[in-house]
Amino acid sequence: MKMDSRITVTSPLLPDLDEFHEMLKDIWASKWITNNGSFHKKLEAALAEYLKVPYISLFTNGTLPLLTALQALRITGEVITTPYSFVATTHAIWWNGCRPVFVDIDPATGNIDPDRIEAAITPRTTAILPVHVYGNPCDTKRIQMIADKYGLKVIYDAAHAFGVEVEGESLLNAGDLSTLSFHATKVFNTIEGGAMVMHDAEMKKRIDYLKNFGFANEVEVVGPGINSKMDEMRSAYGLLNLKQVDAAIEARRQVALRYREALKDVEGITFFQDLPGVRHNYSYFPIFVEADKYGMTRDELYFKMKEKGVLGRRYFYPLISSFSTYKGLPSAAKENLPQAHKMAESVICLPMHHGLNDEDISRVLEMIVE
């Protein structure tokens, strides 16, 4: 199998090299390469505008804003979360010395099921950490009502939700804080990178201190901070990618439309539709394989695709609650998470990125439609 005949599940959005070179020349001339330089400031301003959020703080990846959000809100005790995510979501809870409490998901979205949250609340619960999985919006109104009733904080892992809007409003404004990842595999990337979205200037100041060791000025450290600053090169790279992200999302939408049209009559294969009033970002295209109807198991299809150079991903399998670190938790019991197990055992994320051409899409579909 030739390397270049493989169709990968994702492909990074890359800036124009000449434009990037021009920006690098500016950075070299200024000799300011990190610590809130001019490209860092420009990217924060441009992202706040693009994402329709009041305040945003850049981070060096998408995991550190999760860790820092829990720190900033002084979360302790138990945190209610979803097992159906990338493992960093639960790691952030653990690294803060808190106990993750897994709640099952709603099969209609893949997100934490609001109907099951209240039953998981104990006197030690202090926060809810949901994920907008695949960019599908959580039921943020219901979750906020529950949080308000019990005095809980809400932090959204919005790593998949770059640019997602509900009724014209950014999904990132829900909850107390939201975090983003700008990793190479995401819709918008700065190679490695991430951000946190907050509601007010006071919180932004606090977060900006925390991501720079807690320094408020040259001589004052106001808290036990961390180092999670984004440098000037990746900020410049991000500014250039932001100019092309709408075109990339539109290209992804076209891929999703082709997939849906071709798969709509395939027995045993299901997928998500666009939700009314939602601007989706098409960050992933998960399909769900029902083995008895489709005539092949998920893994049989997955490995058949792989053999032919069509690389899907089983996101999210195994569940976070199945990893050795977490499987001993009472809430990790399989009986507690039937819908999450069902989804994890049936999912394949198909190749989904801006660079797929007609031939690639046909090759992916050939694998599934016999």
Ligand X SMILES: *Cc1c(COP(=O)(O)O)cnc(C)c1O
Point out the residue whose Cβ comes nearest to ligand X: 62
Binding segment for ligand X among 35-43, 69-77, 80-88, 219-227 (CB under 6 A)?
80-88
Query: Binders of ligand X among 281-340, rule CB under 6 A?
Result: none
Cis status, amide bond into 107, omega within 30 of 0 = no
With respect to ligand X, which residue has the nearer C-beta, 96 or 181?
Answer: 181
Per-residue burial over 177-211, b = 16 or more CB atoms within 10 Å of its CB, e = otherwise: bbbbbbbebbbbbbebbbbbbbeeeebbebbbbbb
Question: Is position 88 an interface residue for ligand X (rule: CB under 6 A)?
Answer: yes
Which of 10, 61, 228, 235 contacts ligand X by CB under 6 A?
61
Question: Is position 85 an interface residue for ligand X (rule: CB under 6 A)?
Answer: yes
With respect to ligand X, which residue has the nearer C-beta, 85 or 140?
Answer: 85
With respect to ligand X, which residue has the nearer C-beta, 92 or 356?
Answer: 92
Query: Is 140 within 8 Å of 171 (Cβ atoms)?
Result: yes
Question: Is position 241 an interface residue for ligand X (rule: CB under 6 A)?
Answer: no
- 64-72 and 201-210 helices cross at what angle (nearest 10)? 120
Query: Is 336 within 8 Å of 322 (Cβ atoms)?
Result: no
Question: Is position 157 an interface residue for ligand X (rule: CB under 6 A)?
Answer: yes
Question: Is position 63 an interface residue for ligand X (rule: CB under 6 A)?
Answer: yes
Question: Is position 65 an interface residue for ligand X (rule: CB under 6 A)?
Answer: no
Q: Quick count: other Cβ atoms within 10 Å of Cβ 122? A: 10
Q: Which residues pair with 125 in a beta bridge?
A: 78
Question: Is position 347 an interface residue for ligand X (rule: CB under 6 A)?
Answer: no
Question: Is position 83 an interface residue for ligand X (rule: CB under 6 A)?
Answer: no
What the block records as the tokens of 343 is 């989804």
Query: Is 245 within 8 Å of 313 (Cβ atoms)?
Result: no
Question: Is position 194 an interface residue for ligand X (rule: CB under 6 A)?
Answer: yes
With respect to ligand X, which residue has the nearer C-beta, 143 or 159?
Answer: 159
CA distances (Å), 307 to each of 1, 81, 342, in order?
A: 9, 35, 25
Measured distance CA(240)–CA(298) in Å, rounded? 38
| CA neighbor of 120 nearest in space, from 332, 344, 345, 322 | 332
Q: Quick count: other Cβ atoms within 10 Å of Cβ 253? A: 14
Measured distance CA(246)–CA(163) in Å, rounded? 9
Task: Kindly state the smallest distance separating residue 81's Cβ from ligand X, in Å.
Answer: 11
Binding segment for ligand X among 81-89, 110-118, 228-236, 304-312 (CB under 6 A)?
81-89
| CA neighbor of 282 nearest in space, from 184, 130, 108, 164 | 164
Question: Is position 86 an interface residue for ligand X (rule: CB under 6 A)?
Answer: yes
- Amino acid at site 231: D
Question: Is position 183 an interface residue for ligand X (rule: CB under 6 A)?
Answer: yes
Question: Is position 96 an interface residue for ligand X (rule: CB under 6 A)?
Answer: no
Q: Quick count: other Cβ atoms within 10 Å of Cβ 238? A: 27
Query: Binders of ligand X among 5-24, rule CB under 6 A?
Result: none
Question: Is position 163 an interface residue for ligand X (rule: CB under 6 A)?
Answer: no
Task: Kindly state the smallest distance separating residue 78's Cβ from ligand X, in Å.
Answer: 20
Q: Which residues bind ligand X (CB under 6 A)?
A: 61-63, 85-86, 88-89, 131, 157, 159-160, 181, 183, 194
